[in-house]
Structure 1
Amino acid sequence: MLGGVKLEAGSRVGDTDGMAPTHTDSEVVLNGLDFLERAVADLGQTPPDVKDATLHLFSAIEVLIKAGLIREHWTLVAVKSDGATQAKYDSGDLQTVDPMSAIKRLRDVLGIAVSVQREKDVDAVRMLRNRIAHFAMIGVAPASAAPLLGRGFDFAWWFLGTHIRPGASASDVHAIDNVMADVAVAASKISALVSERMGALEPELSVLEWALNCPRCSQSALCEGAEGPPVCKFCFWSVSGEEGADEYVEESLGISSYLTFKDGGDWPIIDCVAGGDAALVEGVEVVRSVTAGRKGNDYMACFTCGLFEQGAHIERCERCGYACGAAICESCVDYLMAD
């Protein structure tokens, strides 16, 4: 039983009597992403357009929260389940809950742990939005609004990355990632957004064994993933395999593949000693660590299996140049023995 509507065995979330609602959580998510993208663009102007940024950011937060509820069942966004019909939902005539009540439902119905601080951050943006909507910017100093918007952005980004993207369809993930990539790059250039998000992440970042600079957002938040390749805690960037390794080397280390091969140098991406994929980067630069002295580029990291080892380089075969960890590789030994 969800929101007063019983789901029959075999029915899909969002179905009522076998009929899917016209407006799915996917459409709502894309709408929220549009608002979020506009909010960041507003803040990126010179001077920042705090008024429109506030209106767009709060709309993004509200829409994304409701998308989380709709994914479970559309009736969860209704103020009252009694009288809530699919026809009203599809036509946009359904009275929906306010964002603060929606957060309570995220906790009570879906079991999503929204911290008290994050709830306060959303409420602060709500109050700022109401003040601006009713009185324009009278009495609102842009400098004082920036931290509030930064914390609101942190909530939207956190909820999007941890509760909306996971579980989305492949096509939705692709669309979400495209927008997140653009927003992350834009947001990384806005100090208020960066400082508030990094501040919120500090308890997690402060205990990391290692963190690298992210190739997408440039923040020192790229770290060990739950499984597989590294993941950025700031912008959720995580690209597996050679593609991720290439992007890290080019963007974070500033090493050009064109110039490296043109000048006859050694490209720092080799076959992983654990998994075999060409995704092990030599000389990754650790920029922060809970372990004293563990900084610098005397490390290797695999962007497929997540292997992280000390040692900037693996010994290469003197004959063919293959990174094998020995003076001569097995292939060359076999070739020479055959002669």
Structure 2
Amino acid sequence: MSDQNEPQQPKEPESGAEQTPASAAVPAQSGKKAERPSPRPDVSYTPVSNGMDYLVSVFQHLTEGEKPPGARDLKYAVLHLQAATEVLLKARLSHEHFSLIFQNPAEATHETWESGKFKSCGTLDAYDRLRGIARLALDDDSRKRIKELGESRNALQHYGLTHNAYAIESRAVKVLDFLLTFINRHLIPGLDGAEAQDVERTMQAFRLQLKGIETLVKQRMNALQSDLAKVTDVTVQCPDCEQWALVTGNGEKGLTCLFCDQDWRDPDFTATNYVWIVLGLDDSPQDGGDPSVVDCPECQEPALVPTAVTAASRPGTSPLCFSCGATFENLIDCEGGCGTVLDIAPDGESIPMCRNCIDIRYARF
């Protein structure tokens, strides 16, 4: 009987048998199945994190690419800024009640809300409901800028847009400034602790980046100051970029904003856009009020804005003709009732009527 502790010798292969290499030892198999790789994570964003992610993209396109941002960066900055604005306004609106997000709140149900299969209100509707129902202190200027941003987004998304890069960047800065204030004042206080901390950390980076973008705008304006200082009495806020750089008074040569280089060829058209976009007025009289654009007593062109605000007069008004650049201190309405505006000194000697009304009234004499 052999010793059990003696090592066993390998058997010699039988004669003529083919030799094959010994197979590698196979590890013992446990009863547990091999774990599969983890599946890809779900796409999961809360409304707030979704809006903040859009803002991250906006700042990336405005600050991390070429300097100044190129056309592609500005395009995506506009698209994602509008998306961020819509999402974050609605996120705050939902804190009041989920039904306010619906286009028609009367049709809202909790089941539909949870499914997400409903038509929501527009961005401006959300803004108005935040102001009218939630009673947030939101102003008309911010609403106007959000409206303009939405129009630019729609143009880019649906039928293309050709617009001045400086104007787009200037507008973006103003909406970003509004959004950061809105998030800090109206959104963060209603978030739970963890989400509020996440948003606040992101906001710290945003504030630093916004200063950099604002610096680009200020640097361009500073470079124009020496030229603009000579024409403050005929310089107004540009309807396109909102900078105080639109110099009026070039007549048929047209008007050009020195900041955004927008060419406003027709003074009459420019005056109409100015009162509508900048002053927020209609260019025609409402309810018996005075018209916003009238014929100029100096050049007779329909380009005089009686309530214009110039760089020299702000915050006060200064009647200004966008065509000839004339300014007036003694404008009065013709007492003949024809609607003509006159420039007559209050000396008591001049007849406060236009020539046509004088001829009609005194024709019998």
Tell me which interval the TM-score lies in, with the shorter structure as reference length. 0.3 to 0.5
Q: Answer with 1 or 2: which has the greater Rg.
A: 2
TM, length-normalised to structure 1: 0.47
* Higher relative contact order structure (alpha carbons within 8 Å, sequence separation ≥ 6): 1
TM, length-normalised to structure 2: 0.44
